[in-house]
Amino acid sequence: MRDKIVVPGGALWLRPARPEDEDLRFDLFRQYRMEVLKLGRLSDAKIDELLTSQYESRMRSFRERFPRANWSVVEFEEMPIGELVVDDSPDGLCVVDVALRPDCQRRGFGSALIRALTATAGGRGVRAMVLMTNAASLGMFRRLGFVDSGHDSAHIELRWPPLREIKGGG
């Protein structure tokens, strides 16, 4: 099954992730984390070792914390460009991860994906945990009407609609 999301210039398609998508998913993680690791002036071999270890730990954590999550590959013009991981629980949808290739960012694709989620969530709402250092994602969620609803040492939790709207006023 594939879901279509219309965007300027074409359409995004969501399809279930498959084992052969692992390289894409690792590459998305690598592209995001590489800049931070390069700041430490580590050797390329050490960076590769750290990226592999961090990626494996991240995947294990996602699977333990969100065992029922739906893992989707995002395609544009039949090319895989990203991933969307969403946990569908009784209290709402949780955006576990949304990642797009750098050349596909700031084109409205991420916003279109999140708007599609909010449209399907109904009264249950949507929440996302975003790294405090990820200004682009924080800005996108806030522009889409998400509000800060808490934080831990590394993440800000954002919710849509705001909790007061879910509870019915106040």
Give mean pLDDT, residues 34-38. 71
Nearest Cα residue to 109 out of 127, 145, 84: 84
- Can you tell me the distance from the alpha carbon of 84 to that of 78, in angstroms, rounded to the nearest whole number? 16
**Greater pLDDT, 53 or 44:** 53
Does 52 score more than 70 pLDDT? yes
Q: Is the CB of residue 144 less than 8 Å from the CB of residue 137? A: no
The whole-number pLDDT of residue 31 equals 86
Of the chain, the percentage scoring pLDDT greater than 90 comes to 65
Does 164 score more than 70 pLDDT? no
Give mean pLDDT, residues 141-169. 81
The whole-number pLDDT of residue 64 equals 94
Would you tell me how many other CB atoms lie within 10 Å of the CB of residue 153? 5
What is the tens place of the pLDDT at every residue in 69-125? 999 999 998 899 999 999 998 888 999 999 999 999 999 999 999 999 999 887 789
The whole-number pLDDT of residue 43 equals 84
- The beta strands (E) that lie in the chain are given as 3-7, 10-16, 70-76, 79-89, 92-100, 126-131, 147-151, 155-160
- Can you tell me the distance from the alpha carbon of 131 to that of 32, in angstroms, rounded to the nearest whole number? 12
The domains located in the chain, with CATH, are: 3-167 (3.40.630.30)
pTM: 0.86
Give mean pLDDT, residues 150-161. 92
Give mean pLDDT, residues 57-64. 92
